[in-house]
């Protein structure tokens, strides 16, 4: 099999020092990650902030050595043959501020194209063409310091595609883009991969819709571990036998969510405060369990304001695998870091 990217038990541990005198603390960012991505695939890494997505991308782009395991990109070992990997890859990160504000968009992109050895004339032709594609054809001679965050991100995206890499790494590429721009960029990403079976994209995102809409396969990652890896439809199919309900209810006023969680047949429950009440998302083993849920709420004097049955989404798959929603995971990890 022709793999564009392959990792074998890749792990990464950071040593973090609080002060010069203190003993370093170890932070496991990746743990025994195994992924195999075929040429021509658009592969998604889906996980909350701090899950290890960016660390994996850094390893695959030769910017970081793995602490354990091995990884290959375009058939070359990223740790032992970085000089063979680098001409074949490129990377774009969401929210990056690369380039120089004094240079125009064209000049910045030209400069980066030269670092990959592109012919100047060809680079300028491709810059014009790609800027047209992302709707920035009229910004060719605008200084990059004068661009909005969204336009700057589009310029970064053009930088990644400009060198026509064999493997392209997109780390949260639509971060900071408005809805329309993000949609255009997704469409372009999909078409770029489809045009040539030798092109591969590894995309990280914490937007479920983006992963669902774009990716051929998705790996769900949390706390440095890959929890599941399959096509979005197969991942959702895992929950096909489950019943997924979303309820909006009156304020819980001390009503214990634990009571609901302990009901037989309730597999997962995500609870969120909203204006004027609470939102409860249930994954139930079967539909009739809803009766017990409604009875329990009624017994606790909780009014049901809205009830909706949902088809499984990747968010539900994440909840099923991790036990909490991505927002909850991000909330708890940011709380821990403070």
**Binding interface with another protein (CB under 8 A):** 12, 14-16, 55, 58, 61-65, 83, 86-87, 89-91, 93, 96-100, 102-103, 107, 110-112, 114-119, 122, 126, 129-130, 132-135, 143, 161, 163-164, 184, 187-188, 191-192, 195-196
Residue closer to another protein, measured from CB, 183 or 279: 183
Q: Nearest approach, Cβ of 287 to another protein (angstroms)?
A: 42
Query: How, if at all, do strands 68-73 and 76-77 pair?
Result: antiparallel
Residue closer to another protein, measured from CB, 189 or 280: 189
Q: Nearest approach, Cβ of 243 to another protein (angstroms)?
A: 39
What are the backbone angles phi and psi of residue 125, rounded to the nearest 5°? -65, -45
Give the Cβ contact number of residue 116 at 10 Å. 14
> Hey, what are 220's tokens?
């769900």
Residue closer to another protein, measured from CB, 96 or 216: 96
Report the chain's C-alpha Rg in angstroms: 23
Residue closer to another protein, measured from CB, 12 or 267: 12
Residues linked to residue 320 through DSSP beta bridges, in sequence order = none
Q: Nearest approach, Cβ of 199 to another protein (angstroms)?
A: 9
The Cα–Cα gap between 183 and 176 comes to 12
The Cα–Cα gap between 284 and 257 comes to 15
CA distances from 121 to 110, 128, 130, 200, 261 (A): 10, 11, 14, 26, 64
The Cα–Cα gap between 71 and 6 comes to 6
CA atoms within 13 A on the CB side of 325: 16
Residue closer to another protein, measured from CB, 196 or 261: 196
Q: Nearest approach, Cβ of 144 to another protein (angstroms)?
A: 11
Residue closer to another protein, measured from CB, 129 or 259: 129
How far out from the chain centre does Cα 6 lie? 18
Q: Nearest approach, Cβ of 180 to another protein (angstroms)?
A: 10
Q: Nearest approach, Cβ of 83 to another protein (angstroms)?
A: 7
């Amino acid at each position: 099999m022709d793999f564009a990217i392959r990792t074998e038990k890749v792990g990464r541990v950071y040593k973090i020092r609080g002060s010069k005198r203190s003993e370093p603390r170890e932070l496991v960012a990746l743990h025994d990650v195994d992924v195999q991505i075929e040429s021509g695939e658009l592969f998604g890494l889906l996980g909350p902030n701090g899950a290890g997505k960016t660390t994996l991308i850094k390893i695959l782009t030769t910017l970081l050595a793995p602490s354990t395991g091995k990884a290959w990109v375009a058939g070359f070992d990223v740790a032992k043959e970085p000089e063979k990997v680098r001409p074949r890859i490129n990377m774009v990160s969401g929210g990056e501020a690369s380039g120089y504000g004094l240079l125009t968009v064209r000049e910045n992109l030209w400069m980066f194209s030269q670092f990959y050895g592109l012919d100047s004339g060809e680079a300028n032709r491709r810059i014009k063409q790609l800027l047209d594609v992302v709707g920035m054809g009229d910004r060719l001679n605008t200084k990059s310091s004068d661009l909005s965050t969204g336009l700057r991100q589009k310029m970064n995206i053009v930088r990644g595609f400009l060198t026509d890499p064999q493997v392209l790494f997109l780390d949260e590429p639509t971060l900071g883009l408005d809805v329309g721009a993000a949609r255009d960029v997704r469409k372009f990403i999909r078409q770029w991969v489809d045009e040539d079976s030798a092109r591969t994209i590894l995309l990280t995102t914490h937007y479920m819709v983006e992963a669902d809409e774009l990716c051929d396969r998705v790996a769900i990652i949390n706390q440095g571990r890959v929890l599941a890896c399959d096509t979005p439809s197969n991942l959702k199919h895992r929950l096909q036998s489950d019943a997924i309900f979303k309820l909006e209810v009156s304020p819980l006023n001390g009503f214990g969510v634990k009571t609901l969680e302990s009901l037989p047949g309730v597999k997962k429950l995500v609870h969120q405060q909203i204006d004027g009440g609470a939102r409860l998302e249930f994954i139930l083993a079967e539909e009739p369990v809803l009766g017990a849920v409604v009875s329990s709420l009624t017994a606790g004097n909780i009014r049901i304001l809205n009830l909706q049955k949902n088809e499984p989404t990747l968010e539900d798959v994440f909840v099923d695998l991790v036990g909490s929603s991505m927002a909850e995971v991000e909330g708890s990890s940011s709380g821990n870091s403070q």
